[in-house]
C-alpha cells in the first residue's frame, strides 16, 4: 500500500505538523477568536473543530452542526489556516466538501464500526481529500488497519493515522491508555503511513499534554492534534484537556525533536518491554489482592477456632522458606525481606479487622 507523506500535503511545513483548535465549535466568535490566536503560532498549520459531536448520551451538546461549516470557511478566508472537521456519516462528508473543508477526520467511535467505515469510505470514493483516521476506541490494531484499508481501497491516498489512546477498564492517570506499542506496530505494518498523536484525548487533562506530545516526537510521529480553546474551563466539551493558544505555543516551543537513525526501532523495543512490565505488575497486583482475600478467610477461621492471629512459629518458618526460595530465584535478600514484612503486616491488619468485626 502506498501513502503520501503527510508533509507533502502541506508544502513548506516542517515536522511536526500541528493541528489545533477547539474540541467543539461553540459560537462563531469562539471559533474565529481561537483561529486568529492560533494563526500567530507558526507551527500551527491546520485548524480543527468538532461540528458534529459523538456524545455518549443523548441530550448532551451534540455540536452546532452544519452552521459551523460557514464559520470554518471564514477561518480559512481570514487566517489562511487549513481546516478539518470530524465526519461520521456520508452527508457530513458531502457537506464538508461543499464548504471547502481541507482535511476530514474520522473519530474513534466511528472507526470501531466496519459498517460505518465502509459507508464513509464509499462516500469518499472519487473525492481527493486527505483523511485522518483516529484509532478505534478499543485497543484493536486490526480495526484501525481495516479502516485505513477501506479508505485506501476507495482511492484515498492521503491518509494519516491519529493515535488518541484506548479505552481502559482500570482508572489510570490517562483518560485513554496510550498503549504506545499499538501505533508502533501500525508503523511497522504500514511503512510510510503518516502517524500523528492526539495528546488531548490520551491525557484528558492539561498537565499531561506536554509529556505525551514529547513522547510522540521521540517515537518519530509526524504531527500533533491538540485541543485549544480561548477559555478552556468554560469549554462546552472536554474542558479539562483544552489548552489556551498561549499554553499550546509554550509546549510547541519546548518540544525537543531528536532525529537519530534507528530510534524508532529502539523505542519500539523499549515500549514492548514496558508493556510486558505493565502486564507483570497487573498480575502482581491481582495476586496480592488474592492473597489478602485469603488472609481475610484465615481471620474468620482463626476466630471461629479461637486462635490468636499471630502464630510466631509459622511466620518464622514462612519467612525463612520465602527467603530461601527468593534467593534461589536470584532476588536480593534485603529487598525480599522488606517486601515480606510489608505483606505480612497488611495480612495481620486484615485479620485483626475481620476479628474485630466479628467480635
Ligand atoms: C475529538 O477529537 O474531539 C474527538 C471526539 O475525538 P475522538 O474521536 O478521538 O474521541
Ligand atoms: Mn474532544
Is 164 found in the same domain as 75?
Answer: yes
Tracing cell 500541528 back to the chain, one arrives at 18
Is 339 found in the same domain as 243?
Answer: no
The Å distance, Cα 266 to ligand 1 centre, comes to: 30
Is 46 found in the same domain as 191?
Answer: yes
Comparing 358 with 89, which gets the higher pLDDT?
Answer: 89
Q: What is the pLDDT of residues 34-76, one digit of tens each?
A: 999 999 999 999 999 999 998 888 888 999 999 999 999 999 9
Reading the block at residue 329, the C-alpha cell is 530465584
Domain assignment present for residue 184? The answer is yes
Residue 263's pLDDT band (boundaries 50, 70, 90)? low
Is 210 found in the same domain as 127?
Answer: yes
- 107 CB under 6 A from ligand 1? yes
Whole domain around residue 322: which residue ranges?
290-358
How many whole angstroms separate alpha carbon 15 and alpha carbon 216? Answer: 12
Q: Give the distance from CA 268 to its chain's centroid.
A: 17
Q: What is the pLDDT of residue 310?
A: 78
Is 129 found in the same domain as 42?
Answer: yes
pLDDT at 11 over 90: no
Q: What is the pLDDT of residue 8?
A: 72
pLDDT > 90 fraction of the chain, expressed in percent and rounded: 78
CATH number at residue 177: 3.20.20.70
Is 346 found in the same domain as 214?
Answer: no
Is 220 found in the same domain as 294?
Answer: no
How many whole angstroms separate alpha carbon 182 and alpha carbon 119? Answer: 25
Last residue of a domain, one of 239, 254, 269: 254
Residue 260's pLDDT band (boundaries 50, 70, 90)? low
Query: Which residues surround the ion ligand 2 when the cut-off is CB under 5 Å?
Result: 23, 238
Last residue of a domain, one of 197, 232, 254: 254
Domain assignment present for residue 55? The answer is yes
Beta-ladder partners of 259: none
* pTM (2 d.p.): 0.75
Domain count, the chain: 2
Q: Give the distance from CA 111 to its chain's centroid.
A: 15
Is 207 found in the same domain as 328?
Answer: no
Which ranges constitute the DSSP H helices of 219-311?
A: 245-254, 263-304
- Among protein residues, the one with the nearest Cα to ligand 1's atom 1 is 23
- 23 CB under 6 A from ligand 1? yes
Is 333 found in the same domain as 241?
Answer: no
Residue 284's pLDDT band (boundaries 50, 70, 90)? very high
pLDDT at 293 over 90: yes
Is 247 found in the same domain as 104?
Answer: yes
pLDDT at 12 over 90: no
Tracing cell 508502533 back to the chain, one arrives at 184
Task: Answer for the pair 3, 157: CB distance below 8 angstroms, yes or no.
Answer: yes
How many whole angstroms separate alpha carbon 359 and alpha carbon 354? Answer: 9
Could you tell me which of 292, 287, 286 has the C-alpha nearest to residue 349?
A: 292
Q: What is the pLDDT of residue 323?
A: 95
Domain assignment present for residue 68? The answer is yes
Tracing cell 472519487 back to the chain, one arrives at 126
Comparing 197 with 311, which gets the higher pLDDT?
Answer: 197
Comparing 298 with 32, which gets the higher pLDDT?
Answer: 32
Amino acid at each position: 500500500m502506498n501513502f503520501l507523506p503527510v508533509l507533502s500535503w502541506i508544502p513548506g511545513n516542517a515536522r511536526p505538523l500541528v493541528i489545533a483548535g477547539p474540541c467543539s465549535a461553540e459560537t462563531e466568535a469562539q471559533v474565529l477568536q481561537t483561529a486568529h490566536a492560533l494563526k500567530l503560532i507558526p507551527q500551527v498549520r491546520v485548524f480543527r473543530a468538532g461540528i458534529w459531536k459523538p456524545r455518549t448520551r443523548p441530550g448532551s451538546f451534540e455540536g452546532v452542526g452544519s452552521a459551523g461549516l460557514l464559520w470554518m470557511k471564514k477561518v480559512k478566508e481570514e487566517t489562511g489556516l487549513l481546516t478539518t472537521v470530524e465526519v461520521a456519516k456520508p452527508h457530513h462528508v458531502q457537506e464538508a466538501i461543499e464548504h471547502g473543508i481541507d482535511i476530514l477526520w474520522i473519530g474513534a467511535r466511528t472507526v470501531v464500526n466496519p459498517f460505518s467505515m465502509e459507508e464513509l469510505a464509499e462516500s469518499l470514493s472519487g473525492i481527493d481529500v486527505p483523511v485522518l483516521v483516529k484509532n478505534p476506541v478499543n485497543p484493536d490494531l486490526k480495526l484501525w488497519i481495516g479502516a485505513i484499508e477501506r479508505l485506501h481501497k476507495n482511492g484515498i491516498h492521503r491518509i494519516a493515522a491519529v493515535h488518541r489512546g484506548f479505552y481502559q477498564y482500570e482508572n489510570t492517570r490517562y483518560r485513554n491508555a496510550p498503549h504506545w506499542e499499538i501505533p508502533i506496530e501500525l508503523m511497522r505494518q504500514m511503512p510510510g503511513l503518516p502517524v500523528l498523536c492526539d495528546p488531548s484525548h490520551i491525557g484528558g487533562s492539561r498537565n499531561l499534554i506536554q509529556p505525551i506530545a514529547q513522547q510522540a516526537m521521540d517515537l518519530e510521529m509526524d504531527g500533533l492534534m491538540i485541543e485549544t480553546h480561548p477559555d478552556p474551563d468554560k469549554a462546552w466539551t472536554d474542558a479539562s484537556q483544552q489548552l489556551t493558544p498561549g499554553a499550546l505555543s509554550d509546549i510547541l516551543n519546548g518540544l525537543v525533536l531528536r532525529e537519530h537513525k534507528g530510534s524508532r526501532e529502539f523505542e519500539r523495543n523499549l515500549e514492548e518491554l514496558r508493556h510486558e512490565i505493565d502486564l507483570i505488575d497487573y498480575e502482581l497486583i491481582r495476586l496480592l489482592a488474592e492473597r489478602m482475600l485469603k488472609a481475610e478467610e484465615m481471620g474468620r477461621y482463626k476466630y471461629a477456632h479461637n486462635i490468636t492471629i499471630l502464630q510466631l512459629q509459622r511466620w518464622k518458618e514462612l519467612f525463612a522458606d520465602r527467603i530461601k526460595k527468593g534467593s534461589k530465584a536470584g532476588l536480593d535478600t534485603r529487598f525480599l525481606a522488606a517486601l515480606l514484612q510489608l505483606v505480612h503486616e497488611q495480612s495481620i491488619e486484615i485479620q485483626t479487622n475481620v476479628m474485630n468485626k466479628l467480635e
